[in-house]
Amino acid sequence: MTAVELIQLVSQVVWVALGVITVVRAIRQPSRANVDIALFFAGLAFVTVEGRIAAAIELPAAPLLTFLVRVIVVALPYLLIRLAHDFGSVALPVRRAAEILLAASVVAMAVFPDLPAQLTLSIVAYFVVFSLYAAVSFIRLASRSHGVTRRRMHAVAWGSYLLGIAILIAGVAIFAPALGDLTRAVTQILALASSLSYAVGFVPPTGLRRYWQLPEIRDLARRVSELPRLPTTEAIVRELEKDAGRALGAGAAIGIWDESTGALRFASPLDGLPNEIQPSAFPSWRSFTEQRPLHIADAAAALPERAEGYRRSNIRSLLVAPITAGERRLGVLVAYAPSEPIFAEDDIDLAVLLAQQAAVILESRDLIDEAAGVRAEAEAARLKEDFVSAAAHDLKTPLTTIVAQAQLLELRAQRAGRTDELPGLGRLLRETERLARLVDELLDASRLERGAFPLHPEPGDLATIARSVLTRERAGSERVELESDGAVPGLYDPERIAQLIDNLVENALKYSPDGTSVRIRVWRADGSARLAVTDQGIGIPREDLPHVFDRFRRASNVDARRFAGIGLGLYICRGIVEQHGGRIWAESVPGRGTTFHLALPSESAG
């Protein structure tokens, strides 16, 4: 076997293999592009097999079979034009011209079985011109594409160039028989190169596609640590769209889930399509809600009501993959192409991989933003603490002076018998004392926040401390009842525990109507000192119970105009209890009342 024969054999094997592969794919996925690719390669495979069989049996071919082979060969440029239109767009006049010239060539071959030289030359010219036109079309498509698609279109363009040149040289051989051996060798080499180029372009192996995509995937992986630090999330999304588009050889858009509006918001909206997608039949919404990737071969057919928008945006095929981090849904990645064959069957796996990378990057950005927010909140809290502490300290001295002066004025009025002044002086004294207590609360809250809350525990009796609180004069004190099973010894800071009980009693009186009782119960249980304060007041909504001990927090059913306070009392109560190594909690039924429980370590006084 000569070198030329070996090249011819390899070329023929490639054509037949491509014919089988493309026909099987067209049967499995009968789209227009797959059918056109199958017709092109099946025709070449048929011509190849027929030639090998005819050479093997050394019998003259039947006229009808010869005519059929010629028709298939002449139809190849027309099929290339169809393929160029499948992948991109070929002007209608060009397509019609190809059809007319194909029909004319078939008629000429039917009328003249032995074609005159002029007709042969005309058919060769038709073949070469339209093959080269298809090649130019694929080159133009490659220039508008990127990534895998650009490489595929370049390969198809080279295949068309080489096939056209091979036919041209074969035509020259008809008029220059002396160059037969040379033209035959060159033609076979060009045919082999053309077959390999077409294979790479039309049916690229998965390994080759992944090799082409590898640089873009590596680049995205390398930038995983860089992209989250871009100035805005929108800038990150735009970079992710570029990277995904390069990897898939198509356009790409990312929709971010906006929980406030319940919609997917696209930073790069396409002409004719909404930039915000809410519950609908859009593939992006389906992929997001169903949490599965989708491959839509014909978007206009899948969503007829949006067909005009897809056509205006030059979108035919879609790959959609959800962007999800754990259980958190972040958005969707949408890759779009002007033609269905741009995406291979396994590109959906790559789209899923790119969506996962996008999820990592977007989640990292959220964590960075959250960390920055925490730092900002911590700084704001520190500044607020400094301000509150400074303001409280600055208010403490003048308030002490005002309280002392008010007490002195009240005492003088009593001694002088100026009874008409006593109500006003009493109100002044009460409000000043209330303001002084608020300042004390601010100072205590500031100390708790800084971890500098003073505590001086000593042996004592919880029941005795509770009883001392009841002796204090206050409005509604007659409504307070104490129930005790006897002494409850332990190590307590009597001043702070009294402050704790006083706060709970004040709250109970404030939030319960006149005529109802407030009950304090002190007892021992399970080795702990227990105390409970129960009222019959407005209660606390269930959703507020976990937060009632937070700083500056008041229940949602509290009318601030009716019930004065700044939401620090219970926060300080929790701090006092925790400083004693205990715990405090609340039970409540809105409209029926609340019980505050506390449990403290109970130790022997000795």
Interior CA angle at 196 toward 192 and 199, to 5°?
Answer: 140
* pLDDT at 344 > cutoff 60: yes
Mean pLDDT of 46-50: 84
DSSP 8-state symbol, 479: G
* pLDDT at 345 > cutoff 80: no
**Domain limits at 232?**
213-372
More confident residue, 381 or 19: 19
Mean pLDDT of 568-580: 90
Determine whether 429 is exposed, middle or buried from the number of CB atoms within 10 Å of its CB (0-12, 13-18, 19+): middle
More confident residue, 321 or 29: 321
Mean pLDDT of 183-200: 83
**Beta-carbon contacts of residue 516 (< 8 Å; ≥ 6 apart):** 479, 535, 536, 537
Among 22-36, 392-406, 423-437, name the most confident range.
22-36
Residue 431 located in a structural domain: yes
Q: Among 150-154, 193-197, 392-396, 570-574, which stretch is predicted with the lowest mean pLDDT? A: 392-396
Residue 79 located in a structural domain: yes
Residue 606 located in a structural domain: no
Shared-domain flag, residues 179 and 52: yes
pLDDT tier at 250, thresholds 50, 70, 90? confident
pLDDT of residue 175: 65
pLDDT tier at 396, thresholds 50, 70, 90? low
Shared-domain flag, residues 118 and 200: yes
* pLDDT at 178 > cutoff 50: yes
Global pTM reads 0.55
Structure tokens at 238: 């735009």
Whole-number percent of the chain with pLDDT over 70: 90
For residue 350, the one-letter residue type is: L
pLDDT tier at 384, thresholds 50, 70, 90? low
Q: Among 116-120, 131-135, 397-401, which stretch is predicted with the lowest mean pLDDT? A: 397-401
Shared-domain flag, residues 147 and 15: yes
CB 357 within 8 A of CB 387: no
Exposure string over 222-246, b if 16+ CB within 10 A, otherwise e? ebeeebbebeeeeebbbbbbebbbb
* pLDDT at 606 > cutoff 50: no
Mean pLDDT of 301-305: 86
Shared-domain flag, residues 227 and 127: no
CA distances from 445 to 451, 503, 574 (A): 10, 14, 11
How many structural domains is the chain composed of? 4
Interior CA angle at 503 toward 501 and 509, to 5°?
Answer: 100
* pLDDT at 2 > cutoff 80: no
Mean pLDDT of 488-502: 92
Shared-domain flag, residues 111 and 238: no
pLDDT tier at 521, thresholds 50, 70, 90? very high
CATH number at residue 329: 3.30.450.40
Residue 100 located in a structural domain: yes
d(CA 539, CA 549): 15
> In this structure, what are the phi and psi dihedrals at residue 527, rounded to the nearest 5 degrees?
75, 10
The mean pLDDT of the chain is 83
pLDDT of residue 493: 92
Among 55-59, 156-160, 565-569, name the most confident range.
156-160
Shared-domain flag, residues 477 and 496: yes
Boundary-marking domain end, from 396, 429, 450? 450
* pLDDT at 122 > cutoff 70: yes
pLDDT tier at 397, thresholds 50, 70, 90? low
Whole-number percent of the chain with pLDDT over 90: 22
Residue 367 located in a structural domain: yes
d(CA 74, CA 226): 55
Q: Which of 128, 83, 68, 139 is nearest to 101 (CA)?
A: 128
Residue 246 located in a structural domain: yes
d(CA 322, CA 148): 22
d(CA 156, CA 148): 12
pLDDT of residue 389: 60
Residue 179 located in a structural domain: yes
* pLDDT at 378 > cutoff 80: no
d(CA 588, CA 539): 6
Boundary-marking domain end, from 324, 341, 372? 372
CATH number at residue 541: 3.30.565.10
Helical segments of 145-282, H only: 147-175, 180-202, 206-222, 233-248
* pLDDT at 317 > cutoff 70: yes
pLDDT of residue 605: 39
pLDDT of residue 101: 92
Boundary-marking domain end, from 186, 204, 222? 204
CB 106 within 8 A of CB 77: no
Structure tokens at 429: 């004294």
Shared-domain flag, residues 535 and 566: yes
d(CA 219, CA 233): 19
* pLDDT at 435 > cutoff 80: no
What is the distance in angstroms between the CA of the first residue and the CA of the last residue of the chain?
113
More confident residue, 258 or 297: 258
Residue 387 located in a structural domain: yes
d(CA 92, CA 447): 83
Shared-domain flag, residues 282 and 299: yes
CATH number at residue 59: 1.20.1070.10
Shared-domain flag, residues 28 and 153: yes
pLDDT of residue 285: 92
Shared-domain flag, residues 194 and 280: no
Shared-domain flag, residues 197 and 226: no
* pLDDT at 333 > cutoff 90: yes
pLDDT tier at 1, thresholds 50, 70, 90? low
CB 268 within 8 A of CB 239: no
Shared-domain flag, residues 24 and 166: yes
Mean pLDDT of 168-187: 72
